[in-house]
Amino acid sequence: MTAKKQKKEKSSKKEKKISKTTDEIKKFIDDIAAEIIICDTGDLAALGEVSNRIDSFKEICKKKKASRLEEIINDCSSLADIVFLNPDDEESENILDLLREAFSILQKNIKNLDDKGITKCKDISSWQETADKKLGRVGSKDTGSDDANADEIDLENEDLINEFAENIPSALDFIEQQILKMENKEGNEKDEREALLRKIHTLKGEAGFLKLSSISKLFHQMEATLEEPLLCKKKGFTDLFLSTVDFIREHQQSGNAGSCDYSVKTQLILNFITGKDQDIKSESSSASGEYRQDAKQIDETVFFDFISESQEHIQTCELGLIEIEKNPNDMEILNSLFRSFHTIKGVSSFLELNSIRDLTHAAETLLDDIRKGDRQMDEGIVDALFDSIDILKRLVENPKIITTGEGGSEFQADYDRVLQLLNDIKEGKKISSTGNVGASKGKMIGEILVEKGAVSKTTVKKALEQQQEHPDKKLGEILIEEKDVPARMVAEAIREQKTSPMSEKTSTATVQTDFVKISTEKLDHLINMVGELVINETQIEHSDVIQRSDDDVLLRTIRQISKVVKEIQSISMGMRMIPVKQTFQKMERVVRDIARKSDKKIRLDLLGEDTELDRNVIEKLYDPLIHMIRNSCDHGVETPDARIKKGKSDVGNVVLNAYHQGGSVVIEIKDDGNGLDRDAILEKAISKGLAEKNKTYTDSEVFNFIFAPGFSTAKQVTSVSGRGVGMDVVKKNIDLMRGKVEITSEKDKGSVFYLKIPLTLAIIEGMVVEVGKERYIFPTISVKKFINYIEKDITHIPGQGDFVNDRGDLIPLYDLRKILQNNNENSNGATKSVLIIDADGKEIGFITDELLGQFQIVIKTLGDTMKNLEGISGGAILGDGTVGLIVDPTGMKKYCEEIGSNNCNKEVKKRITEKLNEVKNNLKEA
């Protein structure tokens, strides 16, 4: 392909000797102008020649510092490249015209040429505008036509790209050595620099030829930097280049050296050249400065990894802080705290999340002091650290605050206050050793160097002393200046130091490689399919053919399949299960805060933390748990004085326990405080109209009143609770999960709340009953008992309904046949059973035809159209593949009470027809 040859020529020609006279420029303009007029878009040879000349011209302009001219020629060069690469494109002719125009303008202005290039140049500004437009527009068009030719070119270039990629590692090694040589001032500075320049130039040429534009641009900027000897001596040069090399190497190792995006690095080097990086560098080393630049285009995944990782760390910190309050001298906890803060800091500064970085830095410094023994852990510090954790949490939970920096004034005030607090504590005692500054970076350079055996401890000490005299100098610089250690070692040490927070990150990542993140949607789908598999399997197992078969092999296989399927089912169900541990541990913090605020002493014991629950359930459990714990701490546990008066230990005890019971999990929240005040609750309930004055209520009925919205017996609303919202929330949430709340309480001994919740939201244990031809499912959790329907036990109250006398308890009865099927026929005398359920603490009975048994039921939603049915909470697929409806006991009770078992048939029909007529009328009117 001629294009290839041309390109190669182009890169080699660029290196030719350059004249220094202004006449040379004149000559160039004249020559190019002459050439460009005669060449056309199809003539690649001529175009290549022009393109080469323009490039050489550009070099000269650069050398002469004719920046204005260089700018123009640069544009010309880009335009020429486009024409060269898309000879067949219609647009190319226009661009060529544009180029011709440029050189004719330059020719006209040639008289203004002086040492600085062309300073006054008529008409060129407007030309540049058009050129810019063309470059922008053509640029995008360019990629389009690239795509069209992509197949062809890619095939041609694939081998070459591979070759290029293979050569990169050795080239990078060379570049690295060269950079370090330059830093070390080994050999002739100029020679080394030019050797490096040549290497990078070659790479740039190759990359450009292979159309790896991103990396080619990067090399171009590196080249531009190296052309300026002064820039190479500028502070940060070595770091910047080494990190760039690392960057390329990383991508190369992952196999996409050529194709990935290097624009960030390119921009950095450009900034370096123009000096824009100064402000960034003033804070810390140029390396982290450039990381921060990266952050502008933070890779989203990196960012979200950071968020989730930080959440883990925050949790570790909370636990650690709680622990350390108990054992202030436990070095291990202290270290783990330090590590967590440190890691967050490391990553946040890498991601340019300054607010997080500053905060964690302050916290970390404080912890470091304690670690070193310069300070004692005390309550003030723990509180301050807790506060900072809270702020971090808010930051992490609202990534928007982080990215936009806007968290509202309230948040900003909190943030400032905490940061100030941390700094105040730190200032409280002046830190003597300057080493602290270095310590915040993790390992100090000196430390690393000593470890590596590059220097002795005494040398480092000496250097440190020197550093105190010149605080602006880095330890590494001093060591190199003193020739104590080769610069290469220092550079390596710096790199190691920089990567240390990151290496911690990777180590946590390796632990997690045992897990695969799966979308819940996929998981649900799998579970759905497994459910179907189970049904089909049962159908086969129970089919007549199999039942009658005497084929041993077949029967054995069927049994085997049945086992495997059950196993698959239990595995797939188990996949959603996670232990309650994390949620429980979050409560430690809640208890601590409340105890603090209300001057109480409370110990929280956690039991059964390994009990597993469905992920969805655990998520929904969090809010109710917080309210329950708050309730227990605030209303339950008394103040230390009151407790001592009652003869109890001054430390209150709250126990959080989780265990299996039947098919569900019970979460028990037990406190040894006041206990519920039965009389006060009843009184309040009566005053609120929830209870009737002269009726007797059971304990559980009375206690259930506290779940009513706005119900509170607290005489005082505290900052924690007392508004009567909490218990309402608990009840609602638990109901949503098809769970139950039970309370037992004894005055002055304490109370226990039992949250009975299903293992999973997807499956319930259900009692299947038959009514007419249909089957309905009642959650086993709410079923009290079954009794035989015996005519003489049933009493009918005219106009009210039926009730059954069950060993002295009078329980209202409803006929499901009438309620659910609008069917008034009596079942033909078959034995009926009465299902007694517990709905909201009240027992009611349903007349059913037959109890079919207890099954594990996979809950399916009935879809949006039927989500608001009263008393029906969903559907379930039964053993034979048909759908049964799941009854929601509380809703069903309400529905029955409203409708009344006797006249429900008419009532329901009437309502529905009315409603439908109304809609039809509306439709007609519209």
Partner 1 sequence: MTVKQEEKAKEGKYLTFVLDKEEYGLEILKVREIIGIMKITPVPQTPDFLKGVINLRGKVIPVVDLRVKFGIPELEYTKETCIIVVEIEKDGKPMTMGIVIDSVSEVIYIEEKNIDERPDFGTNIKANFISGIGKVGGGVKMLLNINEVLTDEELSTMEEIGKQN
Where on the chain is the footprint of partner 1 (CB under 8 A)? 528-529, 531-532, 774, 819-822, 860-872, 874-875, 877, 881-885, 895, 898-899, 908, 911-912, 915-916, 919, 922-924, 926
* Residue among 580 and 876 whose Cβ is closer to partner 1: 876
Helix axis angle for 263-274 and 286-295, nearest 10°, is 130
Question: CA 528, CA 521: separation in Å to the nearest integer?
Answer: 10
* Residue among 177 and 823 whose Cβ is closer to partner 1: 823
* Residue among 403 and 528 whose Cβ is closer to partner 1: 528
Question: CA 750, CA 739: separation in Å to the nearest integer?
Answer: 23
* Residue among 437 and 919 whose Cβ is closer to partner 1: 919
Helix axis angle for 300-326 and 331-350, nearest 10°, is 160
* Residue among 837 and 896 whose Cβ is closer to partner 1: 896
How near is the Cβ of 528 to partner 1 at its closest, in Å? 4
| CA-closest candidate to residue 288, choices 452, 504, 505, 494 | 494
In contact, 676 and 706? CB cutoff 8 Å: yes
The contacts of residue 83 (CB under 8 Å, 6+ apart) are 41, 47, 92, 95, 96, 99
Strand order in the sheet with 833-839: 783-788, 833-839, 842-848, 809-815, 801-806, 794-797
Token pair for residue 439?
A: 């310590």
How near is the Cβ of 562 to partner 1 at its closest, in Å? 19
Nearest 10 degrees: CA dihedral of 742, 875, 879, 661? Answer: -10
Residues 386-398 as b/e (b if ≥16 CB within 10 A, e otherwise) read bbbbbbbbebbee
How near is the Cβ of 52 to partner 1 at its closest, in Å? 58
How near is the Cβ of 778 to partner 1 at its closest, in Å? 15
How near is the Cβ of 725 to partner 1 at its closest, in Å? 24
| CA-closest candidate to residue 460, choices 432, 483, 484 | 484
Question: CA 359, CA 401: separation in Å to the nearest integer?
Answer: 14
* Residue among 331 and 919 whose Cβ is closer to partner 1: 919
Question: CA 657, CA 581: separation in Å to the nearest integer?
Answer: 11
How near is the Cβ of 522 to partner 1 at its closest, in Å? 14
How near is the Cβ of 916 to partner 1 at its closest, in Å? 6
How near is the Cβ of 516 to partner 1 at its closest, in Å? 23
Question: CA 427, CA 584: separation in Å to the nearest integer?
Answer: 36
How near is the Cβ of 321 to partner 1 at its closest, in Å? 46
The contacts of residue 655 (CB under 8 Å, 6+ apart) are 604, 605, 607, 668, 669, 670, 671
Work out whether strand 774-779 and strand 883-887 pair parallel, antiparallel, or are unpaired: parallel
How near is the Cβ of 877 to partner 1 at its closest, in Å? 5
* Residue among 439 and 877 whose Cβ is closer to partner 1: 877
How near is the Cβ of 541 to partner 1 at its closest, in Å? 19
Token pair for residue 770?
A: 């038959």
* Residue among 578 and 869 whose Cβ is closer to partner 1: 869
Question: CA 572, CA 442: separation in Å to the nearest integer?
Answer: 44
How near is the Cβ of 731 to partner 1 at its closest, in Å? 20
* Residue among 688 and 915 whose Cβ is closer to partner 1: 915
Question: CA 757, CA 622: separation in Å to the nearest integer?
Answer: 13
How near is the Cβ of 509 to partner 1 at its closest, in Å? 36
Check the CA dihedral 862-863-865-870 and report its sign: positive
How near is the Cβ of 898 to partner 1 at its closest, in Å? 7
* Residue among 481 and 532 whose Cβ is closer to partner 1: 532
Question: CA 926, CA 920: separation in Å to the nearest integer?
Answer: 10
* Residue among 150 and 916 whose Cβ is closer to partner 1: 916
* Residue among 640 and 879 whose Cβ is closer to partner 1: 879
Token pair for residue 141?
A: 């068009």
How near is the Cβ of 123 to partner 1 at its closest, in Å? 56
End-to-end CA distance of the chain: 72
For 835-864, give the DSSP string: EEEEETTEEEEEEESEEEEEEEEEEE---G
**Residue 826: CB atoms within 10 Å:** 11
Helix axis angle for 408-428 and 379-397, nearest 10°, is 150
* Residue among 453 and 863 whose Cβ is closer to partner 1: 863
* Residue among 165 and 534 whose Cβ is closer to partner 1: 534
Q: What is the DSSP letter of 14?
A: T
* Residue among 720 and 862 whose Cβ is closer to partner 1: 862
